[in-house]
Amino acid sequence: MNSPNLASGPRAWRARALAVLASLGLALGLLLGLPAVSQAAGSLPCDIYAAAGTPCVAAHSVTRALLSSYNGPLYQVTRVSDGATADIGLVGGYADAAAQDAFCANSGGCRITKIYDQSGRHNDLKPGPAGTAGMGNDRGADASEIAVTAGGHKVYGVWISPGVGYRYTGVASGVAVNGQPEGAYMVASGTHVGSACCFDYGNAESTPADTGNGHMDAVSIATTCYFAPCTGNGPWVEADLENGMFQGDNGSNTANQGNKSTFVTAVLKNNGQTRYALKGGNSQTGGLSTWWDGALPTRGGYQPMHQEGGIILGIGGDNSNWNRGTFFEGVMVSGYPTDAAENAVQANIVSVGYSGQTDVPNGPQGTVTGPGGKCVDVAADDTGVNGAAVQLWDCQTYAEDQHWTHNPDGSLSTLGRCLDIENNGTAGGAKLELWDCNGVGGQKWVQQADGSLLNPQSGRCLDSPSGATANGTRLQIWDCNGAAAQKFGLS
């Protein structure tokens, strides 16, 4: 058995004492309403964990530095228009959102194509490969889909929609394998959530395949009640240990009340042999609630664990990428963290002052509203492959595929592709689809004074056949006639 606290002697005692003092000091400041110093040297999450003897082996954030000595890039963005890339670094310890805005402006947008590891181990995350779940390669998140505030700075989150996900494929440096102890946390949305598989962050298979119970050790926040009964409707902080989203012991845990705050700190630690713990808290205020601290599942394969040392974000171990969520920061550590260290990390997170909505896209995109007040939508739930049907559907604030960017060349894009006419057609009745942006005439749309959207190449307008308003109505082009079936408003 791996004990959670094997270190001894003066140095280890001093490290534990420092972690406790850090926790008490930060907590006292919060209670007294004193000004928080969010980026003080030595007080960031990886500093706190290292002082407690459980150093970060992976640290990913698109909002801020997680280690006081780190001054490298946080993430990389790639422009849709020309494939050019730029690293987004730090200004005063926080992401340089202005640099991203300048680079991505008037280009059809950008995608986040790499999230850098701040631990020094180069465990960087990139869009993941196809896996045994049957989904194709993951795509990078729209870089400007969701903006919030951290430390008084505008920053962007990682908006996870179905089809978006990241992975370190292989065995990441220092990450636990074969029953070694580890811990992890992430700050994510408690409002942009779903029940599908899987919005995870943490240890996963080294290849995108389900290799059996105990081969994953990732923290999740979702409305997935995998083992009934569950209390309320969630979302719950859960442990994805492969083939189960566990809230405690063998799955169900009615003591888990869930975490519904706008920003949630989700914490998981696992000694790899017999014990794991789950905690959750509001990332804007207060401390952590312990939802489980006890035995690993006895279902078979979990005692001991069989972690493989891969890293995932926003997906499951087999690349199940059907869920949604919003990610801001997270780390993985070597060893079983102390409660004092986790409390100090939570106090530091609170001191950052995260604010804003986390469930509504607020970037440069807008909706296109058509007949019946329905939204122009891409079939197949945000997956956005070439040839996906474009249709009418009930407007949903969280649906990425209903938020379109009106580009300088007259195209409309979402999910990294453009609103397109099948085969670049011009005939009346030609169907609308999603396709790679390529500048052809079938991808140009001009708003007219009467509220219609004209495709200049064909001389025809975006149209709902016979003025239909039902969900799933496939859109087409048709002779412009000023009818209600051709009224499409850009917002």
Does 15 have pLDDT greater than 80?
no
Q: Reply yes or no on whether 318 is catalytic.
A: yes
For the domain spanning 368-490, the CATH number is 2.80.10.50
Q: Which of 297, 183, 369, 387 is nearest to 378 (CA)?
A: 387
Specify the pLDDT at position 56: 98
Structural domain boundaries in the chain: 10-352, 368-490
State the Cα–Cα distance between residues 371 and 321, nearest whole angstrom: 31
Specify the pLDDT at position 40: 58
> Could you tell me the sign of the dihedral formed by the alpha carbons of 31, 32, 38, 41, in that order?
negative
342-346, 416-420, 436-440, range with greatest mean pLDDT: 342-346
Q: Per-residue confidence at 406, pLDDT binned at 50, 70, 90?
A: confident
Specify the pLDDT at position 35: 35
Q: What are the residues facing 208 on neighbouring strands?
A: none
Does 30 have pLDDT greater than 90?
no
Per-residue model confidence as pLDDT tens digits over 132-169: 998 889 999 999 999 999 999 999 999 999 999 999 99
For the domain spanning 10-352, the CATH number is 2.60.120.200
Specify the pLDDT at position 376: 96
- Residues 6 or more apart in contact with residue 259 via CB below 8 angstroms: 190, 221, 235, 236, 237, 266, 280, 281, 282, 289
Q: Nearest 5°: phi and psi at 397?
A: -60, -30
Q: Reply yes or no on whether 242 is catalytic.
A: yes
| pTM, full prediction | 0.85
pLDDT mean over 24-32 = 39
Specify the pLDDT at position 407: 82
Specify the pLDDT at position 380: 82
pLDDT mean over 363-371 = 88
Task: Select which of 142, 217, 242, 377 is catalytic.
Answer: 242
Specify the pLDDT at position 39: 56
User: For residue 101, how many C-alpha atoms fall within 13 Å in the half-sphere facing its CB?
Assistant: 11
Q: Per-residue confidence at 211, pLDDT binned at 50, 70, 90?
A: very high
The H or E element that residue 29 is part of is helix 10-32
